[in-house]
A and B are shown apart, each in its own frame.
Chain A
């Protein structure tokens, strides 16, 4: 008998942006550059791939109930990924980055 790895490692562990209040979900679209696309697809599952661009970049369609977890995922790719929509969450991500830049500056080197 084969025990799939998914039985030992719930999918939600690797997609924390899906954890949240049912009924309050929205769809987010994220584009990931070609070089990082294989890892991104492995992370979210092939079913989330909405399109593959000519250069190998992938557009992912993600069901989101936890916005901070989504931002965490997108920023894990640094500048190799971009949150395309929804516009409000995209604006939130920009504010998030600016907050990080503010708090990550003017520090005392050890």
Chain B
């Protein structure tokens, strides 16, 4: 299980266990879809959770006794929170995600707390008017507006785009169908005439964009917010990851995952662009080993030589 999923389970589990005052190990495992050993590992992690300087009053108490699970909140849980509107909004967003975690009680303490917090943000807190400003970062507002206008008018745009995966800049005629924000970045989903397929482009990597006053001519496509799509032509790589490189399994979609006898983690990743793989292997440095390479990949040597050339002059 990925760390993110485990964290969601633990966060969902804690208020449920507290509310049920010592549920059995069996019913807890059934509710949250884990095995007793996994539950024990969660409990062992929980009683290490707290605030600096980690004195007993600042640590969550978690234990298993006579087949039942007990969790007691640390003292600081009883203190009133003084959240800023930004912190409150972040908490609402995070708690809403947790409510979707398997096993969460839709009418439990988490849901009730979320409702109270949302009400405070939208009602009693007179400084919050229900609107949020979104920072565009390096995204050019002109480009963003141009793309949105193309979506609304069903027209085309010519973009000059830096492909992170291929480490290359090219020009493309696209037909935008949606502009969306995900994981802090803006994206445009479009039909790409160059690729003759649908593609998703990160807006801050569009160097220039020109509106083309032509109606769409490509096939109709369904707007999508999916950032990674496995293509038939994609190859795959198998990496052995040391502890320091395990973040790869959290950051990228993994096709296969296995613990190796030597303690490393084996992962199989889809590879659609070799420059992306070059970059990843260089970033991992001594903490990863390529066990299986995608067909046609000339190994990381040429990319490493290009980078080293900057350091040998």
Contact = CB atoms under 8 A, between A and B. Distances in A.
Interface of A: 1-9, 35-36, 38-39, 41-42, 68, 71-72, 75-76, 78-80, 82, 90, 93-94, 96-101, 103-110
Contacts of B127: 1
Please classify the interface of chain A as helix (H, G, I), strand (E, B), loop, or mixed, using the class held by over half of its residues.
Answer: helix
10 contacts: A41-B138, A71-B283, A75-B285, A75-B307, A76-B279, A94-B311, A96-B285, A100-B304, A109-B294, A110-B235
A8 to B, nearest CB: 5
B132 A101 contact: no
Given A39-B205, A110-B235, A75 B90 contact: no
The range of chain B's interface size is 35 or more
Nearest to B306: A79
Contact of A98 (B279, B291, B304, B306): B304
A2, A3, A4, A75 interface centre (most CB from chain B within 10 Å): A3
Contact of A103 (B137, B184, B290, B295): B290
Given A4-B135, A75-B307, A100 B89 contact: no
B211 interface: no
Contact of B300 (A82, A100, A108): A100
Contacts of A109: 292-297
CB-based closest 7 A-B pairs: A7-B86, A104-B300, A42-B138, A2-B133, A99-B286, A101-B304, A96-B285
Contact of B293 (A2, A39, A80, A108): A108
A90 to B, nearest CB: 7
